[in-house]
Amino acid sequence: GESVGLHLPTLSVQEGDNSIINCAYSNSASDYFIWYKQESGKGPQFIIDIRSNMDKRQGQRVTVLLNKTVKHLSLQIAATQPGDSAVYFCAEKGRGSNYKLTFGKGTLLTVNP
């Protein structure tokens, strides 16, 4: 069946290091992907998105890479800060829908000072 999953459930990094969070997806028909950040007790917050016709997109301190050949998505956070500590989810949208998202299970990122 369709699924979106993450390789690592937890990731611990030192402040100032770069973080990489990975995500595997199985629906080759997905045409849009989003990374969300969820802090404890809060709702998901949009970080960055990428369309399937792209392989890289950069934001402020964040970069998303998409490898459609192996159905892999990654989120890179540069110079990780304590405020980046949260659970990060990838989500995919299937082609033909403009709303239905499938979320992965999440990776807990802990930034040590």
Partner 1 sequence: NAGVMQNPRHLVRRRGQEARLRCSPMKGHSHVYWYRQLPEEGLKFMVYLQKENIIDESGMPKERFSAEFPKEGPSILRIQQVVRGDSAAYFCASSAITGGNRYNEQFFGPGTRLTVL
Q: Name the site residues for partner 1 (rule: CB under 8 A).
A: 4, 31-32, 41-46, 49, 89, 91, 93, 95-106
Task: Give the strand pairing for 10-14 and 107-112.
Answer: parallel
Going by C-alpha positions, the residue among 48, 52, 80 that lies closest to residue 66 is: 52
- DSSP conformation letters of 22-68: EEEE--TTEEEEEEEEE-TTS--EEEEEEETT-SEEE-SSEEEEEET
Name the percent of the chain in helix, strand, coil, to the closest 5: 5, 55, 40
Smallest gap from Cβ 105 to partner 1, in A, equals: 5
Give the distance from CA 23 to its chain's centroid.
Answer: 7
42 or 60: whose CB is closer to partner 1? 42
60 or 98: whose CB is closer to partner 1? 98
38 or 63: whose CB is closer to partner 1? 38
31 or 74: whose CB is closer to partner 1? 31
Smallest gap from Cβ 23 to partner 1, in A, equals: 10
Smallest gap from Cβ 67 to partner 1, in A, equals: 21
Smallest gap from Cβ 4 to partner 1, in A, equals: 7
